[in-house]
């Protein structure tokens, strides 16, 4: 609980209009996709903020950080709240910093191809403005939360999505960054040029750090010309192995914008969504399907689409091969993005009145190990008696396992926690990563030593100590020193 005298000091900095301790608002700002599950795992903690503040500029943020160091106040930077790993959950109080007021697009430079924005700018809104310039531009890292996420949140989580195979992650578009470190020091990392090898890459330290090292106050991102067209080619396969082998052949020929895989359960969920918004398109519910999205000029992209179609047609394991129309393309990807809620309806126990939620587990393994992962996953899910669906960015080995849990069942939460431990062990045995794009937060942080070793984590803690010696920035997340311990796994 923050003392009244300290709250008054915060009001003097922020202003009465931009601070709240209303219980309803505190509740809303203290939950994310994983908070119910994490409340079972960390049952000794309360994920509830003491205050919400909405700073308007860098000066106010620095003054808040200075005050936080004086009074030891926990600060939790928050974007749009779309994270999957408890990245912005306050642990036993603290001040949530909402950047929704710092939402200005400060500059768009079409000559140098960069935009300068405040952290609360929505990715969608920036994209809308970029499309108005000349032939149109975009920042193509395109995370799954693209309709609602903020630029600051994307940087803090190094967000990416379906287009990462060709266009990379948020880090690849960041030129320059202004931030206030946990020390209260204002810094600027990076430059406006496309490449530089002067000194250590301090810019990249803040990218993906989940608000544990510094608070982003301004970002400069480069953008690209929009492709003239997008074309999607789809095919169904009667075996996962055949689909993976085909994905390898496709990547020998071209690097597509997206190369996605969806299994039988996910395809059923997509069809449920399509039946309501676009019944003209229905997908064959096969063992798996591949969705290949291409982009570029119309002529070249059309040639590539025909080549992909030929590869599919010449594979005896493929069926229902199709180059989608522009309208079908649009709705297919909408159904792909909305497959989670649709899948939930199909996986939850029939006529069960208890509220259920999807549990989405995020892993990546080397492309050559994907089939081994699929085989192990099938056995693991069978042993746990769990229905599930797989959807993922096959081209870069990033897979999402979707299942369901009852929001009223401690046993379900424990089962998902145990399942995650088992899958992490399997992932690490194949040379993979514990999280490819959903982040560490509280959900995956306990497993960092399995991927980076104790020595690697100790180095991360030393970096944290330099940037935030009093541990006021998002404590308990990533590698922050805190009371939160590591889960035991069979690899320990």
Question: pLDDT tens digits, residue range 186-225?
Answer: 999 999 998 899 999 999 999 999 999 999 999 999 999 9
pLDDT score at 173: 98
CATH architecture of 105-225: 2-Layer Sandwich (3.30)
- CATH code matching the domain that covers 4-98, chosen among 1.20.120.140, 3.30.43.10, 3.30.300.20, 3.40.50.300: 3.30.43.10
Q: What is the pLDDT of residue 474?
A: 95
Say what the pLDDT of residue 429 is.
97
Residue 434, C-beta contacts closer than 8 angstroms, at least 6 positions apart: 363, 424, 427, 428, 440, 444, 447, 448, 450, 451
* pLDDT at site 417: 81
Q: Which residue has the tokens 């578009």?
A: 173
Delimiting residues of CATH 3.30.70.2190 domain(s) in the chain: 229-341
Cα 75 from Cα 471, distance rounded (Å): 9
pTM of the full structure: 0.94
In the chain, CATH 3.30.43.10 covers: 4-98
Residue 236: which residues within 8 A CB-CB, separation 6 or more?
Answer: 283, 284, 286, 287, 288, 289, 318, 319, 320
The whole-number pLDDT of residue 461 equals 93
Q: Which fold has domain 229-341?
A: Alpha-Beta Plaits (3.30.70)
CA 326 → CA 229, 280, 419, distances in Å?
Answer: 9, 13, 40
pLDDT in the model for residue 190: 97
Residues (pLDDT < 50) of the chain are 481-492
* pLDDT the model gives residue 37: 67
The pair of structure tokens assigned to 118 is: 């405040």
């Amino acid at each position: 609980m923050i003392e009244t005298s300290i709250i008054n000091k915060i009001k003097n900095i922020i202003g009465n209009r931009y601070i709240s301790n209303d219980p309803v608002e505190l509740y809303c700002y203290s939950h994310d996709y994983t908070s119910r599950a994490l409340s079972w795992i960390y049952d000794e903690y309360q994920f509830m903020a003491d205050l919400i503040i909405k700073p308007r500029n860098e000066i106010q943020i620095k003054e808040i950080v200075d005050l936080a160091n004086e009074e030891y106040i926990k600060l939790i930077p928050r974007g749009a709240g779309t994270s999957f790993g408890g990245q912005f959950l306050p642990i036993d109080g603290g001040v949530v910093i909402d950047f929704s007021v710092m939402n200005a697009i400060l500059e768009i430079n079409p000559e140098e191809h960069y935009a300068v924005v405040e952290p609360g700018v929505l990715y969608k809104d920036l994209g809308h403005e970029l499309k108005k310039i000349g032939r149109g531009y975009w920042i193509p890292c395109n995370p799954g939360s693209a309709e609602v996420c903020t630029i600051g949140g994307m940087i803090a989580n190094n967000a990416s999505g379906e287009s990462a195979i060709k266009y990379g992650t948020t880090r690849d578009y960041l030129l320059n960054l202004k931030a206030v470190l946990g020390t209260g020091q204002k810094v600027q990392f990076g430059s406006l040029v496309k490449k530089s090898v002067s000194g250590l890459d301090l810019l990249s330290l803040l990218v993906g750090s989940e608000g544990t090292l510094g608070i982003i106050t301004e970002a400069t991102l480069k953008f690209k010309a929009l492709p003239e067209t997008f074309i999607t080619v789809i095919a169904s396969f009667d075996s996962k192995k055949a689909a993976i082998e085909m994905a390898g052949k496709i990547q020998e020929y071209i690097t597509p914008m997206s190369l996605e895989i969806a299994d039988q359960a996910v395809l059923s969920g997509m069809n449920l969504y399509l039946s309501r918004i676009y019944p003209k398109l229905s997908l064959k519910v096969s063992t798996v399907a591949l969705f290949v999205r291409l982009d570029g000029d119309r002529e070249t992209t059309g040639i590539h689409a025909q080549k992909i179609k030929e590869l599919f047609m010449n594979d005896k394991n493929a069926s229902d091969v199709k180059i989608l129309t522009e309208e079908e393309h649009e709705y297919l990807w909408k159904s792909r993005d909305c497959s989670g809620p649709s899948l939930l309806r199909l996986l939850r126990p029939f006529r069960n009145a208890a509220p259920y939620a999807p549990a989405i587990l995020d892993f990546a393994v080397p492309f050559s190990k994907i089939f081994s992962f699929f085989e192990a996953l099938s056995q693991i899910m069978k042993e746990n008696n769990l229905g599930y669906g797989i959807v993922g960015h096959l081209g870069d080995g990033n897979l999402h396992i979707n299942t369901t849990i009852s929001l009223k069942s401690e046993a379900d939460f424990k089962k998902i926690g145990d399942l995650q431990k088992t899958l992490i062990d399997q992932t690490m045995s194949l040379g993979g990563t514990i999280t490819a794009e959903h982040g560490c937060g509280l959900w995956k942080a306990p497993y960092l030593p399995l991927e980076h070793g104790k020595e690697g984590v100790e180095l991360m803690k030393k970096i944290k100590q330099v940037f935030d010696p009093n541990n006021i920035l998002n404590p308990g997340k990533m590698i922050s020193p805190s009371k939160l311990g590591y889960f035991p796994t069979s690899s320990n």
